[in-house]
Amino acid sequence: MTLKFGVVGTGAIGKEHIKRITSSLCGGEIVAVTDVNQLAAEQVVEQFGLNAVVYPDDKSLVAAENVDAVLVTSWGPAHEQSVLAAIEAGKYVFCEKPLATTAEGCMKIVEAEMKHGKRLVQVGFMRRYDSGYVQLKEAIDTHTIGEPLMIRCAHRNAKVDANYTTEMAISDTLVHEIDVLHWLVGDDYKSVQVVFPKRTKHALDHLQDPQIIMMETNSGITIHVEVFVNCQYGYDIQCEVIGEEGVANLPEVPSVITRKNATLGASILTDWKQRFMDAYDKELQDFMDSIKTTGEPNGPTSWDGYIVAVTSDACLKAQQTGNKESVTLGEKPAFYKNEKEISKTV
Amino acid sequence: MTLKFGVVGTGAIGKEHIKRITSSLCGGEIVAVTDVNQLAAEQVVEQFGLNAVVYPDDKSLVAAENVDAVLVTSWGPAHEQSVLAAIEAGKYVFCEKPLATTAEGCMKIVEAEMKHGKRLVQVGFMRRYDSGYVQLKEAIDTHTIGEPLMIRCAHRNAKVDANYTTEMAISDTLVHEIDVLHWLVGDDYKSVQVVFPKRTKHALDHLQDPQIIMMETNSGITIHVEVFVNCQYGYDIQCEVIGEEGVANLPEVPSVITRKNATLGASILTDWKQRFMDAYDKELQDFMDSIKTTGEPNGPTSWDGYIVAVTSDACLKAQQTGNKESVTLGEKPAFYKNEKEISKTV
Amino acid sequence: MTLKFGVVGTGAIGKEHIKRITSSLCGGEIVAVTDVNQLAAEQVVEQFGLNAVVYPDDKSLVAAENVDAVLVTSWGPAHEQSVLAAIEAGKYVFCEKPLATTAEGCMKIVEAEMKHGKRLVQVGFMRRYDSGYVQLKEAIDTHTIGEPLMIRCAHRNAKVDANYTTEMAISDTLVHEIDVLHWLVGDDYKSVQVVFPKRTKHALDHLQDPQIIMMETNSGITIHVEVFVNCQYGYDIQCEVIGEEGVANLPEVPSVITRKNATLGASILTDWKQRFMDAYDKELQDFMDSIKTTGEPNGPTSWDGYIVAVTSDACLKAQQTGNKESVTLGEKPAFYKNEKEISKTV
Amino acid sequence: MTLKFGVVGTGAIGKEHIKRITSSLCGGEIVAVTDVNQLAAEQVVEQFGLNAVVYPDDKSLVAAENVDAVLVTSWGPAHEQSVLAAIEAGKYVFCEKPLATTAEGCMKIVEAEMKHGKRLVQVGFMRRYDSGYVQLKEAIDTHTIGEPLMIRCAHRNAKVDANYTTEMAISDTLVHEIDVLHWLVGDDYKSVQVVFPKRTKHALDHLQDPQIIMMETNSGITIHVEVFVNCQYGYDIQCEVIGEEGVANLPEVPSVITRKNATLGASILTDWKQRFMDAYDKELQDFMDSIKTTGEPNGPTSWDGYIVAVTSDACLKAQQTGNKESVTLGEKPAFYKNEKEISKTV
């Protein structure tokens, strides 16, 4: 009953997931690895004491008979071909973001998966597994605050390095909000606009920081996301949903409360990895559990990956034009609807 | 040393201020009242046991020799003439918002006051006297959070009555933010834009509620104010200033914390009057104290009233057009600059 | 309708109250002052520009015809004779704590006042006027948390000077809790016990700090008060009432919330004067208002002063013995019962 | 590398741990089970699809060659013999509280384990694995708040059933605080006393609820724990450590913050199982990981179980006498000292 993983890409995030599967989670095993740097792949096998074969490339790894599921943690531009190969072979896939670097690439995956006939792919948008977002969704779904009308978010990092560009505020940072927010309210994006507030002096010259991304959903919900990646004070994720009957906020990260030096204080995280540590564990555990019990993964789908790609493209355009840009998605295929959505349609 | 007030307009807000001056504050006395409804004016004299003359109109009241200061609490459209009459007579004026209903009217008052040669007028923007905003300004002024880059506000009322219109979200509600925010950051508005999110079902058909007003200052600070006047849950004023080094939020209204029925809870006010009760007291006490000690009032000036009028007009236009509308103010006259601003200029 | 005050004792607290009456509150005037240091009294008249006569002693001041009310802010041991003189002359008295330094002294005042036939005296226990305690009492009185069973308090000062003694933890510090807690729950103390926890290194050798005072009421409510006067971090007053249906806590002092340097923080006061500033204003305003409208003060009574004296004595004894010491009060005279208590008895 | 467990006792808590090991944690397997009710044991094997042998009793299960570790989740009075049998056989033991029902029983286990020569036993005090307590200990250990002087705790349950007795406030409820608090401050208990506040009307006649247990450590730290098991409002665990430089509080359980119906609210748990869910997972995962990496468990030891037994006995006596009762522990054997303690001694 153990799910046997082949890992494509043994860099930082690949190693994190390998460690997770081998020493914290239940029901998975790493049996195959590959990396463009073969030596790196071999070192990982040794480092974690894996009983795993090192393959020369993703194709051969995917083809290995004992591989049940492919963990795609390679460089972003390489994702698409690995995912397609895995689908082709009828293997499950857990793919880190992005599913593909273009909307077209994502659509190819969607089509391949639909052709295969059942869900194989889960995209690594871990926030849906964060207990705070889960509580927030439950508050919305149980009508605690009535129909959502507006959402205000902040995505703040203490600082970024010199490689971080204005576009990455969308493609690396905002993507998490793009995924989690449409899931939260069960609605799709209609348009986006980007505003550039006063630049912080802590941003390098090439970088516009902060940015405010305004998104509108089909039902008219207005969403404002502040992306501020040199905020200095810490890693801080905020989300407030304003509904017809009330307002709900994502919980603060729990912290000892101290009274010291005339200050009542709680700690704010500085390392983003700590913030969603549990969510990373849960997404992979759920991937394994769901496949075992239902034969399909249960998390963010290829279609969700496609939504993020299309919406990101619109945001990148909006950064350039300063205008409101529309987000054009096709109709969500019945294949990707969950039971609730299907019953709504019927 | 008692400041003798003549009150123009003895409606609800007029009575509140009369009560304040006669039973809570120090150093003021009501010696004259007038109202378009003479009977109402007479009843107020009796109700509060005032030793005050009832005048037939604002002109005669202003002219009364024993009147030091005129409290203008009449219907908005009547403010301008009363204020101008008071300035003409060299009397101090405390004028409830709006200073005048048009930017031109405000400018006339500005010019009259400058011609008189010293400050006589204070406009009733009480938030500057709220201890929360005072703390917030102090945090900004002492560089606790670095240079402000963005501000996020919410102005929520539980509900409004049928008379409340889409325009009043600007002219009655947003005006408080317009005044307090430019004071908070010491900057002027450059442009405004209004977004209409999904309408709450609790709003009557003629009313767009909620609204989001986006304002940009000369230095590039981006401000988003949510005005939501049928939010159901209470009266709630929020303000978050995001700076280069940190973030500061207006304090919550202090409330007993209870643990009951599986809820850790604090009360939210439902009556807006309670929220700024102390600020109302303090603005009038400061008006009296400042006149006694310096010969001039110290609070929001005619020029501040003018800024609010011009900015409100731009917001009303933006409601119509959906576009970004510019806010065009003249250069702030040296007459209205405080010492800090003057020293900056020199 | 102005209440004319004679002030006995023009030290720090006397000056504070004089300033309050002359520049913040409504309806009072200082017409007479005295101090053991005549020069000091004269300087105060000048400093505040008072139109007041300087008297050689409390007796002559009390006798002055234009004195309606005597403000006793002298050295503690002198209070009793001034209060008795004022009662004798039928004058109102606002007396700072202690009412008298002994239970016998307090009882003499109680008897004199009862003999006079109406309430004249209010003791300066300002916490009953603090909006937090008022909210807490309201939560209890409206049965929000059910019948109170336990109370946990903390009374913390950043530091004290070398003159502060182990006994003063009771007579200067705990007295405020002694007064406010029996008022809060409408119950009297039955016994007290004092525990000495580990001593802080920040206390001088002669001082036991912190201390925990455990009090039991007649109905069985258990109260634990931590007195910690060298807590270093600030001035902090906490009170938690645990009831049959829920728990209520005194609000934190409102403060701007900042996010900075990896800390979500709010300020804690360091100066005790700021904490109850509003309560000091309100107790004196209420003293004046209540006398004007009902002919009697409405705040803490001579009997309350007596309760504090008897309970403090028991605590001081308990510090010595380490045992549970009983608090023996006579039956509360009908004279001091409020309407609610009287209706309960009948 | 899988740790093979034999489970003694397949009741509620036994099943919870079996589920944990088989479906959430990494590195364990259930290979043997027993229960006084054989049928129950068989059903558990079926329910969880275990590949496990059902043994007739603890002795035979312990003796099974493939059993590496014994999970003792039987009825309390049966623990001692199972643990001793496991030690005798040189097997690891994870034993739910109590280690034994008497101090003598615990001491026998301590002696058996020492005789065996290495640590085999971990007692199920899961709070040490709760992230809140871990943070609190870190705050203390890093001297964030200086030397601890006092601790205030509350242990509140919404309600208990008719079987719950006054003694169980100690043996079932307080035991968790007894264990976690001495670990938190690295100190042993010297004396205990129990106070009975006013009884809640929600307690049945035979039950004294709430209770306050006061404990003193060897270094003089004063600890007050409120046990209130019919508090109605929820399951709530509070812990405040007051130190020489500041104060630290256990975090609140993270919850979505809502603004609704004039209330700013967060949820309080009602089910105690949810509160320490993560800690239960972590204690067992650590038990397995630590054995694999160091050959010994790392959590609460037999000696800790003995401390709890001795302290509980003193508390039970104190409930009867109302007096301060001393806690007499022998010197902690070097065998149980961690490296830090050993280096201190040397």
Q: What is the 3-state secondary structure (H, E, C) of A23-35?
A: HCCCCEEEEEEEC
Rounded average pLDDT over C221-227: 98
What's the rounded Cα separation, in Å, for the pair B119 and B335? 8
**Is there a contact between A23 and D24 if contact means CB atoms under 8 Å apart?**
no
What's the rounded Cα separation, in Å, for the pair B255 and D154? 22
Amino acid at B266: A
Torsion angle (degrees, nearest 10) of CA C69, C74, C78, C79 = 40
Decide if C198 touches D, using CB distance below 8 A: yes
What's the rounded Cα separation, in Å, for the pair C287 and C125? 12
Class of domain C132-271+306-345: alpha beta
Q: Is the pLDDT of residue C330 over 90?
A: no
How much is the pLDDT for D149? 98
How much is the pLDDT for A79? 98
Confidence grade of residue B337 (pLDDT, cut at 50, 70, 90): confident
Under 8 Å CB-to-CB from B169, ≥6 apart: which residues? B208, B209, B211, B227, B229
Of D135, D247, D259, nearest to A259 by CB-CB distance is: D247
What are the domain boundaries of chain A? 128-277+306-345
How much is the pLDDT for A273? 87
Q: Which chain A residue has the Cα nearest residue D248?
A: A258
Burial of D98 (0-12, 13-18, 19+ CB in 10 A): buried
Which residues in chain B are closer than 8 Å to A197, comparing Cβ atoms? 149-150, 220-222
What's the rounded Cα separation, in Å, for the pair B284 and B126? 9
Helix/strand/coil for B326? strand
* C-beta separation of B251 from B101 below 8 A: no
Of B25, B256, B261, nearest to C249 by CB-CB distance is: B256
How many CB atoms within 10 Å of residue C287?
Answer: 26
**Is there a contact between C23 and B22 if contact means CB atoms under 8 Å apart?**
no
Helix residue ranges, H only, chain B: 12-23, 38-47, 58-63, 79-88, 103-116, 131-141, 168, 175-185, 272-275, 277-294, 302-321, 339-345
- In our burial notation (b when 16+ CB lie closer than 10 A, e otherwise), range A119-150 reads bbbbbbbbbbbbebbebbbebbeeebbbebbb
**Is there a contact between B255 and D270 if contact means CB atoms under 8 Å apart?**
no
What's the rounded Cα separation, in Å, for the pair B316 and B321? 9
Give the CA distances from residue D61 to residues D30, D66, D147, D189, in Å, rounded to whole numbers and listed in that order: 12, 10, 47, 37
Burial of D211 (0-12, 13-18, 19+ CB in 10 A): buried
How much is the pLDDT for A338? 78
Pairing of the two strands C148-156 and A28-34:
unpaired
**Is there a contact between A268 and C262 if contact means CB atoms under 8 Å apart?**
yes
Which residues in chain C are closer than 8 Å to A254, comparing Cβ atoms? none
Structure tokens at D263: 């209330």
* C-beta separation of C137 from C183 below 8 A: yes
Of A152, A222, A247, nearest to B152 by CB-CB distance is: A152
Phi, psi of A150 (to 5 degrees): -145, 155
Q: Which chain A residue has the Cα nearest residue D146?
A: A260
| Topology at the third CATH level for domain C3-127+278-300 | Rossmann fold (3.40.50)
Q: Is the pLDDT of residue D35 over 70?
A: yes
Give the CA distances from residue D129 to residues A213, B98, D125, D225, D301, in Å, rounded to whole numbers and listed in that order: 40, 60, 8, 20, 14
Min Cα distance D145 → chain C (Å) is 10
Cα D222–chain centre separation: 21
Decide if D269 touches A, using CB distance below 8 A: no
Q: Is the pLDDT of residue C346 over 80?
A: no
**Is there a contact between D198 and C228 if contact means CB atoms under 8 Å apart?**
no
What's the rounded Cα separation, in Å, for the pair C95 and C125? 9
How much is the pLDDT for D343? 64
Instruction: Report the alpha-carbon angle D25-D282-D239, nearest 5.
Output: 155
Confidence grade of residue B309 (pLDDT, cut at 50, 70, 90): very high
What's the rounded Cα separation, in Å, for the pair A70 and A67? 7
What's the rounded Cα separation, in Å, for the pair B234 and B230? 9
**Is there a contact between C150 and D210 if contact means CB atoms under 8 Å apart?**
yes
How much is the pLDDT for A303? 98
**Is there a contact between C149 and D200 if contact means CB atoms under 8 Å apart?**
yes
How much is the pLDDT for B173? 97
* pLDDT mean by block of 10 residues, chain A; 346 residues: 95 97 95 97 97 97 98 97 98 97 97 97 98 98 98 98 97 97 97 98 97 98 98 98 98 97 97 93 97 96 98 98 95 86 60
Structure tokens at B93: 């004026």
**Is there a contact between B255 and D264 if contact means CB atoms under 8 Å apart?**
yes
Phi, psi of C276 (to 5 degrees): -115, 20
Q: Is A186 left (phi over 0), alpha (psi -120 to 50) or beta?
A: left
Reported as a single tens digit per residue, the pLDDT across A304-328 is 999 999 999 999 999 999 999 999 9
Rounded average pLDDT over B249-276: 96
Mean pLDDT of all residues belonging to chain B: 96
Helix/strand/coil for D169? helix
Kindly state the percentage of chain C with pLDDT values over 70.
97
How much is the pLDDT for C34? 98
Higher pLDDT, B331 or D47: D47
H/E stretch holding C31: strand C28-34
Structure tokens at A153: 């978010």
CATH architecture, domain defined by A128-277+306-345: 2-Layer Sandwich (3.30)
How much is the pLDDT for C331? 87
H/E stretch holding B30: strand B28-34
- Which residues numbered 30-89 in A keep a CB inside 8 Å of some CB on D? none
Helix axis angle, C302-321 to C175-185, nearest 10° = 120
Q: For domain D131-271+306-345, which CATH number applies: 3.30.420.40, 1.20.1740.10, 3.30.360.10, 3.30.365.10? A: 3.30.360.10
Q: Is the pLDDT of residue C345 over 60?
A: no
Structure tokens at C60: 């002559």
Reported as a single tens digit per residue, the pLDDT across C3-48 is 999 999 999 999 999 999 999 999 999 999 999 999 999 999 999 9
| Topology at the third CATH level for domain B3-127+278-305 | Rossmann fold (3.40.50)
CATH annotation of D3-127+278-301: 3.40.50.720
Confidence grade of residue B343 (pLDDT, cut at 50, 70, 90): low
Kindly state the percentage of chain D with pLDDT values over 90.
95
Among D126, D14, D15, CA closest to D75? D14
- Pick from A249, A263, A271, A275 the residue to mutate for testing the C interface (most C CBs within 10 Å): A263
Phi, psi of B329 (to 5 degrees): -110, 150
DSSP annotation string for B224-266: EEEEETT-SS--EEEEEEEESSEEEEPPPPP--EEEETTEEEE
Q: Is the pLDDT of residue C298 over 90?
A: yes
By 3-state DSSP, what share of chain D in percent is helix, strand and coil, each rounded to 5? Answer: 40, 25, 35
Reported as a single tens digit per residue, the pLDDT across C183-217 is 999 999 999 999 999 999 999 999 999 999 999 99
Helix/strand/coil for A189? strand
Q: Which CATH superfamily is domain B131-271 in?
A: Dihydrodipicolinate Reductase; domain 2 (3.30.360.10)
Mean pLDDT of all residues belonging to chain C: 96
Phi, psi of D246 (to 5 degrees): 180, -175
**ipTM confidence:** 0.95
What's the rounded Cα separation, in Å, for the pair D142 and D248? 12
Helix axis angle, C131-141 to C175-185, nearest 10° = 30
